[in-house]
């Protein structure tokens, strides 16, 4: 039975362009137990096999020889399984070689290994820490798929789980004095819900902020730039505003101080509440800063309420079959004003928030008036139609009775 499986496995893996017609690595390892057979099964879908590479492409040796001594001899360049410390350079034989990568996938960068050794993982590995992640911890060893493949360990939706293999391990993280709740927090965050619940693969995930191979925790000096990769205007407004210098002097994290790190929630105007808003963490209730926050909150609430009211009016009109194209254009345009007014909060200037919100408030009020007027006219037309219908019905009834009387008299 084992020999039959070996033959079938060999046939399964045979179509590799660069692999020998009879890959003795496959034939031999297929007879060596479940663990080896699992590797062969995994490798059958590996991207390296799909581009024509075989076992010996990475591990060396002579895969055409059925003599284990010759096949795995030093003379034949046999390397075998690398240690964890050897893995980055082992993968780098190809992935750091421009000529090799140009042959198989020119779009892949060739600096992953160099970047890895600038990361916390790489630096600790060089210092002798064998517990840190290397290439195979994230990409696996024999079932590597392209990052765009949903089955890949580094596909966007799978990255939290991949990073969580280590970073959710409480015992492992305790040895580094790190928390193990980052993935749990991320899952419930505005970013995590967008990715994992709504399927938005453009949403930020671990490597968006921390990097891929050069993974380094964002520090006080650069966390604003990291968030600014997506939230460019927020960073721009903050850096030009009155808070930037004071925060840097106190070594506050520019974005995370208000929005947190991994458990970032959807921001609402309640962050600016004069009661228990975020500004109260530092400023007393009677301070000008908290008063400014209250003014900004009121303006955000005004445009939000106006936006929602206009939407409700437009929907009510459309449900009656009325053409609301012009009103909906106004409403759609107000959405940008709503976003801009929220972004303008990072200037910490109420007048800037009001300036951004005013066009949207005006547009939504106009859209709402248009929709409400259309509904009123529709109602008036229905009343008029009802009266006209009643008049015509009575007229028809009168004519009918008159005709009947005439016919009755003639008979």
What tens digit of pLDDT does each residue of 318-343 get?
A: 998 999 999 999 999 999 999 999 99
Phi (first) and psi of residue 51, to 5 degrees: -95, 5
The CA distance from 167 to 162, in Å, is 9
The predicted pLDDT at position 219 comes to 65
- Statement: residue 13 has pLDDT above 50: no
**2/191 Cα distance (integer angstroms):** 49
State the pLDDT confidence band at 100, using cuts at 50, 70 and 90. Answer: very high
The residue assigned the tokens 């060999």 is 10
244 Cβ partners below 8 Å, 6+ apart?
Answer: 238, 254
Mean pLDDT within 379-387: 80
Higher pLDDT, 164 or 374: 164
Q: In whole angstroms, what is the distance from residue 352 CA to residue 333 CA?
A: 19
More confident site: 407 or 199? 199
How far is the CA of 380 from the CAs of 21, 323, 324, in angstroms? 84, 17, 18
Closest listed residue to residue 172, CA positions, set 391, 163, 294, 386: 163
- Alpha-carbon distance of 291 to 297, in angstroms, equals 10
Q: How far is CA 32 from the centre of its chain?
A: 42
Q: Is 257 exposed, middle or buried (0-12, 13-18, 19+ CB in 10 A)?
A: middle
pLDDT recorded at residue 237: 95
pLDDT higher than threshold 50 for residue 9 = no
Question: CA-to-CA distance for 397 and 385, rounded, in angstroms?
Answer: 18
Taking CB atoms within 8 Å and a gap of at least 24, the contacts of 201-210 are: 201/156, 201/157, 203/156, 204/230, 205/156, 205/159, 205/160, 206/159, 206/160, 206/163, 207/154, 207/159, 207/163
Taking residues 266-271, report their average pLDDT: 94
> Whole-angstrom distance between the N-terminal and C-terminal Cα of the chain?
108
Q: What is the band of 18 on the pLDDT scale with cuts at 50, 70, 90?
A: very low
* Per-residue pLDDT at 7: 43
pTM of the complete model beyond 0.85: no
Q: Which residue has the higher pLDDT, 8 or 358?
A: 358
Q: What is the pLDDT of residues 240-260, one digit of tens each?
A: 988 888 888 888 888 988 999
Are 134 and 121 in contact by the 8 Å Cβ rule? The answer is: yes
Residue 381 has pLDDT above 90, yes or no: no
pLDDT confidence tier of residue 221, bands split at 50, 70 and 90: low
Per-residue pLDDT tens for 43-91? 999 999 999 999 999 999 999 998 988 989 999 999 989 999 999 999 9
**What are the angstrom distances between the C-alpha of 76 and each of 17, 79, 80, 86, 373?**
21, 9, 12, 20, 86
What is residue 299's three-state secondary structure?
helix
Question: Which CATH architecture describes the domain 288-410?
Answer: Up-down Bundle (1.20)
| pLDDT for residue 19 is more than 50 | no
pLDDT, residue 1, reads 43
- pLDDT value at position 164? 97
What's the CA gap between 227 and 240, in Å, rounded?
16
- Which of the four pLDDT bands, split at 50, 70 and 90, describes residue 156? very high
Domains of the chain by residue range: 288-410
Distance CA 275, CA 282 (A): 13
Residue of 387 and 9 predicted with greater confidence:
387
Cβ-proximal residues to 66 (8 Å cutoff; 6+ apart), any chain: 24, 27, 28
Average pLDDT estimate for 201-213: 93
* pLDDT value at 220 more than 60: no
């Amino acid at each position: 039975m084992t020999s039959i499986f070996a033959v079938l496995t060999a046939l399964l893996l045979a179509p590799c362009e660069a692999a020998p017609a009879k890959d003795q690595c496959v034939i031999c390892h297929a007879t060596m137990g479940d663990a080896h057979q699992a590797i062969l099964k995994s490798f059958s879908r590996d991207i390296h096999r799909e581009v024509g590479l075989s076992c010996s492409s990475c591990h060396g040796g002579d895969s055409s020889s059925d003599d284990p001594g010759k096949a795995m001899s030093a003379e034949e360049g046999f390397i075998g399984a690398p240690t964890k410390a050897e893995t980055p350079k082992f993968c780098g034989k190809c992935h750091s070689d421009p000529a090799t990568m140009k042959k198989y996938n020119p779009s892949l960068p060739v600096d992953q290994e160099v970047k890895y050794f600038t990361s916390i993982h790489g630096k600790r590995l060089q210092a002798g820490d064998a517990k840190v992640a290397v290439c195979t911890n994230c990409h696996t060893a024999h079932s590597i798929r392209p990052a765009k493949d949903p089955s890949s360990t580094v596909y966007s939706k799978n990255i939290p789980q991949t990073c969580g293999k280590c970073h959710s391990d409480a015992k492992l993280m305790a040895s580094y004095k790190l928390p193990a709740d980052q993935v749990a927090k991320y899952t419930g965050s505005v970013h995590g819900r967008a990715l994992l619940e709504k399927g938005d693969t453009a949403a930020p995930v671990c490597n968006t902020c921390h990097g891929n191979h050069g993974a380094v925790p964002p520090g006080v000096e650069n966390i604003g730039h990291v968030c600014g990769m997506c939230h460019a205007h927020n960073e721009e407004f903050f850096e030009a505003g009155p808070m930037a210098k004071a925060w840097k002097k106190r070594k506050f994290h520019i974005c995370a101080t208000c929005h947190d790190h991994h458990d970032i929630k959807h921001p609402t105007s309640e962050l600016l509440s004069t009661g228990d808003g975020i500004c109260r963490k530092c400023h007393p209730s009677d301070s000008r800063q908290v008063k400014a926050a209250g003014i900004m909150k009121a303006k955000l609430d005004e445009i939000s309420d106006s936006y929602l009211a206009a939407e409700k009016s437009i929907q009510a009109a459309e449900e009656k079959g009325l053409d609301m194209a012009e009103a909906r254009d106004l409403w759609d345009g107000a959405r940008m004003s709503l976003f801009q007014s929220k972004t303008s909060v990072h200037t910490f200037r109420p007048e800037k928030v009001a300036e951004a919100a005013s066009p949207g408030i005006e547009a939504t009020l106009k859209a709402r008036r248009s929709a409400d007027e259309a509904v009123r006219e529709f109602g008036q037309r229905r009343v008029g139609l009802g009266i006209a219908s009643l008049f015509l019905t009575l007229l028809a009834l009168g004519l009918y009775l008159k005709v009947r009387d005439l016919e009755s008299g003639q008979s």
